[in-house]
Chain A
Amino acid sequence: MDTAPVANEALARKELIKKYWLAGKIRLVSFSLLLFFLLLMKSIGGYSYVNAAFIALICVETILNQPYAFIIQRVNIFRFQYYQMAMDIIAISWILYYMGGIEAPLVNMAYYAIILWAGVVSSVQAVFFAVGLSALFYSSIIVLEHSGFLPFIAYYNYQITAAQMISILIGNVSFFFAFGYFSAHASRMIKFLERKRSEESLKYAHRFLATGYLVEYTVHDALNYLANISGYAKLLREKQGAAVDEEGMIKSIDALGQKSISLLSRLIRFSKKPSSKRESVSINGVIEEALELTYPLLRYTKIDIDKRLHPHIPLVIGEKDQFQEVFVALILNSLEAMSDKGTLTIVTEPADDINGIKIIVSDTGSGIQPQDISRIRDGEPFFTTREAKMKLGLGLVTTREIVAKHKGTMDIQSTVGKGTTFVIQLPVLQKEPS
Chain B
Amino acid sequence: MEKKRLLIIDDENDFLTIAKINLEQTGKYEVMVLPSAKDIISAVHSFHPDLILLDALMPTIGGIEACEMLNSDPQGANIPTVMLSALDKDQDKLKAYKVGVVDYLVKPIEKDELLAKIEKVLESRT
Give the B-binding residues of A (Cβ under 8 A): 217, 220-221, 223-228, 230-232, 234-235, 240-241, 243-244, 252, 256, 299-300, 302
Main secondary structure of the interface of A (DSSP, over half): helix
Cα-based distance from A244 to B18 in the complex (angstroms) = 10
B69 to chain A minimum Cβ distance, whole angstroms, is 15
Instruction: Please determine whether B21 and A241 come into contact, CB atoms closer than 8 angstroms.
Output: yes
Task: Give CA–CA (A57, B8) in the complex, Å.
Answer: 85
Name which residue of chain B comes closest to A234, CB basis. Answer: B111
A-B contact count (CB 8 A): 53
Q: Given A223-B107, A223-B108, A224-B12, are A300 and B57 also a contact pair (CB < 8 Å)?
A: yes
List A contacts of B62 (CB < 8 A).
Answer: 300
Smallest CB-CB separation from B24: which chain A residue?
A243
Whether A223 and B18, one on each chain, are in contact in the complex, defined by CB atoms closer than 8 angstroms, is no
Complex CA–CA separation, A256 to B14 (angstroms): 9
With A226-B108, A227-B108 as known contacts, state yes or no: A220 contacts B86, CB within 8 Å.
yes
Is B122 located at the chain interface by the 8 A CB criterion? no
- Is B15 on the interface with A (CB-CB < 8 A)? yes
Nearest 10 A/B pairs, CB to CB: A227-B108, A231-B18, A220-B86, A228-B14, A300-B57, A299-B59, A223-B108, A241-B25, A224-B107, A240-B25
Query: Hey, which chain B residues are within 8 Å of A252, CB to CB?
Result: 14, 17
Q: Which of B45-77 contact A (CB under 8 A)?
A: 57-60, 62
> B111 contacts which chain A residues (CB < 8 A)?
231, 234
A151 to chain B, nearest CB (A): 78
- By a CB distance below 8 angstroms, the chain A residues around B86 are 217, 220-221, 223-224
Known: A231-B18, A235-B18, A300-B57. A224 touches B108 (CB 8 A): yes
Smallest CB-CB separation from B10: which chain A residue? A224
Q: Does B115 contact A (CB under 8 A)?
A: no
Q: Is B18 within 8 A of A228, CB to CB? A: yes
Known pairs A225-B14, A235-B22, A300-B57. 15 more at Cβ < 8 A?
A224-B15, A224-B107, A228-B14, A230-B108, A231-B111, A235-B21, A241-B24, A243-B21, A243-B24, A244-B21, A252-B17, A256-B14, A299-B59, A300-B59, A302-B60
Residues of B within 8 A of A (CB): 12, 14-15, 17-18, 21-22, 24-25, 57-60, 62, 86-87, 107-109, 111
Say whether A227 contacts B24, CB under 8 Å.
no
Contacts of B107 in A (CB 8 A): 220, 223-224, 227
User: In the complex, what distance in Å separates the CA atom of A234 from the CA atom of B25?
Assistant: 13
- Cα(A431)–Cα(B20), bound, Å: 53
Contact A220 B87 (CB under 8 A): yes
- Smallest Cβ-Cβ distance to B57: which chain A residue: A300
How far apart are the CA atoms of A227 and B110 in the complex, in Å? 8
**27 A-B pairs whose Cβ atoms sit less than 8 Å apart in the complex:** A220-B86, A220-B87, A223-B86, A223-B108, A224-B12, A224-B86, A224-B107, A225-B14, A226-B108, A227-B108, A228-B12, A228-B108, A231-B14, A231-B15, A231-B18, A231-B111, A232-B14, A232-B18, A234-B111, A240-B25, A244-B21, A256-B14, A299-B59, A300-B58, A300-B59, A300-B62, A302-B59
Which residues of B have CB within 8 Å of A220? 86-87, 107
Alpha-carbon distance between A300 and B62 when the two chains are bound, in angstroms: 8
Least distance between A409 CB and chain B CB atoms (Å): 35
Closest to A243 in B: B21
What distance in Å separates the Cβ of B37 from its nearest Cβ neighbour in chain A?
13
Does the CB pair A228–B24 fall under 8 Å?
A: no
Bound complex: CA of A226 vs CA of B108, how far in Å? 9
Nearest A residue to B62 via CB reads A300
What's the Cα separation between A231 and B112 when bound, in Å? Answer: 11
| Nearest CB in chain A to that of B107: its residue | A224
Minimum CB–CB distance from A364 to chain B (whole Å) comes to 17
Given the complex of chains A and B, what is the CA–CA distance between A234 and B57 in angstroms? 25
| Chain A nearest Cβ from B68, distance in angstroms | 14
Residues of A within 8 A of B18 (CB): 228, 231-232, 235
Residue of B nearest to A230 (CB): B108
User: CA of A231 to CA of B18 in the docked complex: distance in angstroms?
Assistant: 6
B12 proximity list for chain A (CB < 8 A): 224, 228
B43, chain A: closest CB distance, angstroms: 20
Q: Give the CA-CA distance A225 to B25 in the complex, in Å.
A: 22
User: What residues on A are CB-neighbors of B59 within 8 Å?
Assistant: 299-300, 302
A243 to B87 CA separation, bound complex (whole angstroms)? 31
Inside 8 A of A241's CB, which chain B residues have their CB?
A: 21, 24-25
CA A232 to CA B17, docked complex, whole Å: 9
Closest-CB distance, A247 to chain B (whole angstroms): 13
